[in-house]
Structure 1
């Protein structure tokens, strides 16, 4: 891919639906996906298939009906989530599994109750497992902007080696300012082994207005 090419990854159907009042029926989701395809977005994140039967069905319907964009499904770094995403996305001609795990100290200790070594192992295993469904694998270190940079360098290099093709850097809690976010991306480009093989993706929040 050209270094000056910008790809549009749209998460209206997944993260956008979390906004108050933004819940959509399955037919409304299909209509939004059709409009996104008409707009020419490159990737549509259709849902979080394991989270509910409705999410699974909506993701599968988008995968069946939408041509053109890559259709993506979200999955935590475990086999159950990845299997659900893989099955929901199976009808899509172009599919992507987006797997994630938290990497900030506070999330690892209090939410996951895992050590950094355990988290790294789970991330690598998830990427490898997802490759049975598609070679297009996106990995997100959740709460990246509150994560230790040296650990980010390590885990991102490991998932690239395992087969991740896109690295998404989420500012999960809206922690950093735009210039700080840019500095993090620059440091990752300088210090993550093999990052030239992957697409760098951004995911920012505007929680403070």
Structure 2
């Protein structure tokens, strides 16, 4: 092996950018090959060349990003269906029928189905990091509105906002996770 002269955009066969084009992964931090050093963790090298383990294993930041995306996707998925078990309570609190309370599930699902493709088109020129922050913020705001809703219309508006945030988050998170797994990079 030859010594590494700096950051590499291709960190091994399993971590190449699609089509072997570094330009396909803009705004991404490359994985820096690290030489193995058994006895000294401060940079002393017993042999030259990148260690295969460091080239193929995701770093801590990549694992943290994937874990955060997974937890957020789970929360959004849970929010979609957890309301089913609370329809009786919602109908009593808002003095509406259980059927009317159940319509908020349909409102959420319909808005999600409409907003997901529209958001992918609308936010295609915006950085994934900013879209993730916006989507999670909208999702939280929508659910806070639902939590304090004094009537059905406010509850429905909160579910529309939450669905908009969820419909923005899911495709962006999926694309980000795919990019990380293909390129081995994370947004900076």
- Structure 1-normalised TM-score? 0.21
Higher relative contact order (CA 8 A, sep 6+): 2
Larger fraction in helix: 2
Find the structure with the greater CA-based Rg: 2
Larger fraction in strand: 1
